[in-house]
Amino acid sequence: MDPGKFFIDHLKFELQLADRTVETYGREIRSFIKFLGARGKMLNDCDEAVIQEYLVLRRKAGVDDRTVAKIISALRQFFFYLMKEKEVSTNPCLSLEMPRIPRTLPGVLSVEEVELILEQIDTDSPLGLRDRCLFELIYSCGLRISEAVDLTLERVHMDESLIRVRGKGDKERIVPMGEEAAHWIGRYIHEGRSRLYNPQRSERYVFLNHFGGKLSRKGMWKKFKEISQRAGISAKVHTLRHSFATHLLEGGADLRSVQALLGHADISTTQIYTHVDRDDLQDYHTKYHPLEEQVPGKSGG
């Protein structure tokens, strides 16, 4: 029996985790099993000391706190699975302390910067139409990069101005398209995609490369880097998604609605976008707090 292989199948088919998560967990478990084999140990020999020894080894190899946290998560899930299969009696990872990872605020573009980047795209060619549509859709709908490249034609509903997005964990959500996004996707499908389409490839994906196959993430990153550099702006594709969330909240959208549009499982993930300037906070407090006008010495009221 190969416990690593069966564990990966468990993650993929029973828990239905995202492909990237399965890949990451699988890689870490294979590395850990190799470590045990080199020391002549079995899985049921593992205790916290063995796990700590492995983590020290990985740190010496140069992994950061974020990677250590992923390793611990992978090992915890692995030993829970082994307990369920009666391969081990305890989970030696339960008392391990996760490294504290500071939450950094995502980079955000202004509306003017987004427009400037999009204006750099020459829409006279099929590839130009594709790029204008692609980056407009990511910004207007807050898509992850993987969600954009995996979007298929049957998931685009032009009449309702909606797209059905398959996100992390294979979870589906419905996202409305604004007028601008709907305009560009309609124009791209009829004027651009039709010229990129290769009958021999028979791709159903919305965004195609110049061979008529599915556009890759690497291709998308490279293209956005070129376009943003022409605009004189330093940004990554994912910055468009961050900007989408921030602009919605600044415009008055509630946090739960933004959470649903982004496809976040936990609202705490969405809360990183609620970064408001300190001066803005003071202005909002002064303007809206019900007791503010009653404070002695305050003018007005």
- Pick the catalytic residue: 27, 76, 144, 187? 144
How far is the C-alpha of 21 from the C-alpha of 11, rounded, in Å?
9
The torsion of the CA quartet 179, 232, 189, 222, rounded to 10 degrees, works out to -140
- Pick the catalytic residue: 168, 173, 214, 236? 168
How far is the C-alpha of 293 from the C-alpha of 202, rounded, in Å?
66
Phi/psi of residue 197, nearest 5 degrees: -60, 135
Is 168 one of the annotated active-site residues of the chain? yes
Is 54 one of the annotated active-site residues of the chain? no
Q: Which amino acid is residue 74, in one-letter code?
A: A
Is 230 one of the annotated active-site residues of the chain? no
Longest CA–CA span in the chain (Å) reads 78
- Pick the catalytic residue: 155, 223, 241, 242? 241
Question: For residue 156, what are the β-bridge partners?
Answer: 163
Return all residues near 206 (Cβ < 8 A) that are at least 6 apart.
151, 152, 153, 156, 185, 189, 193
- What b/e string do you get for 109-120 counting C-beta neighbours within 10 Å, with b at 16 or more? beeebbebbbeb
Q: Which two three-digit tokens encode residue 56?
A: 């020290």
Whose structure tokens read 């550099």? 229
Ramachandran class of 143: left when φ > 0, alpha when ψ lies in -120 to 50, beta otherwise: beta
How far is the C-alpha of 110 from the C-alpha of 207, rounded, in Å?
26
Q: Which amino acid is residue 294, in one-letter code?
A: Q
Is 238 one of the annotated active-site residues of the chain? yes
Is 273 one of the annotated active-site residues of the chain? yes
The torsion of the CA quartet 273, 270, 256, 24, rounded to 10 degrees, works out to 160
How far is the C-alpha of 40 from the C-alpha of 55, rounded, in Å?
18
How far is the C-alpha of 166 from the C-alpha of 151, rounded, in Å?
8
Is 76 one of the annotated active-site residues of the chain? no
Q: Which amino acid is residue 268, in one-letter code?
A: S
Residues noted as catalytic: 144, 168, 238, 241, 264, 273
